[in-house]
Amino acid sequence: MFAALEQYAEAIAELGATATTAVMTSAVRDASNGREFAATVRDRYGLEGRTLSGDQEAQLTFLGATAARDAGAGERLLVIDIGGGSTELVIGEGTEVAFHVSTQVGVVRHSERHLHSDPPTRDELEALAGDAGPALATAVPEDDRERVTAAVAVAGTATQCARIDLEGEADDVEGHRLSVARLGAMLRELAALPLEQRREVPGLDPDRAPTIVAGIVILTQALAAFGLAGVEVSDRDILWGAALELGSGKSAL
């Protein structure tokens, strides 16, 4: 983590940036030494980190994910942010968030819980889906789920799926669409491969190979919970939202 911050600090200095922003999310918000960590970031790297509330985190994620999207009038949009230990579901219209929730469904958590064979067995995959699906569905009231008309997915699972779909031929995955059918085919292909062969799949970052299977299961279960046939991919998430907030001079909340 500090190595990444060092790289950012060096880039800021080299480019002569006159305005910077740094945000910290649930990991720091929930940590017992969160304040000490923020102080270290400030003193060592000159970044005045702001620990976001859950509402602010959701708003910035939604803002970043929808920034490059031409949303239709009255469109009720779901943003899916799948992480290692949790999945965030954010619903909104335009630039305004109407509902958000953080679920205890994540690619690392659920890989460790369910996928013990290499490659994983059908029973393990079904157990993972049977765990993740209800958890995602029950986290959002039925009325809110039924009103959603489209979805955007951010973070590693979604962007990796887009790159696999493009066979590694393009780095720009912004706006790439993935159908549930294509995700299902991708899941079958990847789940049939041992880990070492999965690392060699064109477009897939080898470091993501251990968790990509769980990620696709979670993504498809999220779409099923909302009755959606596909998803649009964005590599613009909370960091993009934080930059837009800084540029506007207005707080996300």
DSSP 199-213: TTSTT--GGGTTTHH
- Please report where in the chains the tokens 């270290």 appear, as a residue: 40
Q: What is the pLDDT of residue 205?
A: 94
The pair of structure tokens assigned to 144 is 């809110």
Domains in the chain: ranges and CATH: 2-51 (no CATH), 54-238 (3.30.420.150)
Query: What's at 185, amino acid-wise?
Result: A
Report pLDDT for 245: 82
Here the tokens at position 26 are 């649930």
What local confidence, expressed as pLDDT, does residue 253 receive? 58
CA nearest 92: which of 68, 70, 63? 63
CA–CA separation, 145 and 201 (whole Å): 34
> How are beta strands 150-154 and 230-233 bridged, if at all?
parallel
* Distance between CA atoms of residues 142 and 36, nearest Å: 41
pLDDT in tens, the chain (253 residues): 688 888 888 888 889 888 888 888 777 777 788 888 888 888 888 888 788 887 888 888 888 888 877 665 568 999 999 988 889 999 998 878 999 998 989 999 999 999 999 999 999 999 999 999 999 999 999 999 999 999 999 988 999 999 999 987 777 888 899 999 999 999 999 999 999 999 999 999 999 999 999 999 999 999 999 999 999 999 888 888 888 888 777 666 5
Beta-carbon count within 10 A of 11 CB: 10
Three-point CA angle 78, 207, 134, nearest 5°: 35
Distance CA 208, CA 212 (A): 6
